[in-house]
Amino acid sequence: MPHILLVEDEEHLAIGIRFNLEAEGFRVTTAGDGQTALGLLEDPEQAVDLVVLDLMLPGMSGYAVCEAIRGKQNDVPIVMLTARTLVEDRIRGFDAGTDVYLQKPFDLEELISIVRNLLARRSRGGRSPAVAAETTAVRSPAYRFGDAAVNFDSWEARFKDNPVRLTNLEMKLLRYLVEHEGTVVSREELLTRVWGMARPPATRTIDTFILNLRKYFEEDPSHPVHFLSVRGMGYKFVSGRAVPPPPGPDRTA
């Protein structure tokens, strides 16, 4: 039975969400603040499969909780709940590592659908701690480039035989770039296709994620050969040992 950690300090809302999730067959543990939630996630007996995380929490914001979870290389799916509607808030949530940013008031059926889909994807990847132990190698067939191997079915990745733990958004971005190998894709296209933003704002969010992919999979992240910047256009992925353009101010763009 999938285990969901619900982090919500408004008791009446927590009761309603928990009731509906349990009615769908999920096991739900609730926490009223971020520190309690982080403690539960570190408990090996809890085996949390998904986190539903409120943004406005006492003492520690949902952003900080999300960043702390990702900082420990935990790739558990996170659904962030918030009444904030600004694009900047959604971007900050994605930058912190959330998978889905759901605005209040939301429809419970929508939340349940999101939870089901995230858990199904995690289960297909064999990465649900409550269902199966984490695998230690990329199973075939794996997509290979340079010294990296990625299995998009099992959501596993390795670099020089060392496991690489990617967040859901990092894996989605990598897959999109691989599927469009050799094609220059703009930041706006990535925000629309990967982040699902209907009206992509001017933001440097993509740049941070590209830098992460370079750090994970490039021999020398400061001189990438796979994740290339195209000045004024966006980014291009190449699987071979392409000769990168000369270093310039856009190299870390």
Q: Which domains does the chain have, with CATH numbers?
A: 3-124 (3.40.50.2300), 152-237 (1.10.10.10)
Q: Using one digit for the tens of pLDDT, what is the confidence trace for 27-40?
A: 999 999 999 999 99
Which parts of the chain have pLDDT scores under 50? 126-140, 241-246, 250-253
- Bridge partners (DSSP) of residue 100 are 79
- Take residue 182 and report the two structure tokens written for it: 């050799």
pLDDT number for residue 132: 38
pLDDT number for residue 119: 86
pLDDT number for residue 198: 60
pLDDT number for residue 229: 93
CA–CA separation, 18 and 72 (whole Å):
26
pLDDT number for residue 201: 59
pLDDT number for residue 203: 64
pLDDT number for residue 130: 44
Q: Using one digit for the tens of pLDDT, what is the confidence trace for 140-166?
A: 467 899 999 998 877 789 999 888 888
pLDDT number for residue 139: 43
From first CA to last CA, the distance across the chain in angstroms is 43
pLDDT number for residue 191: 82
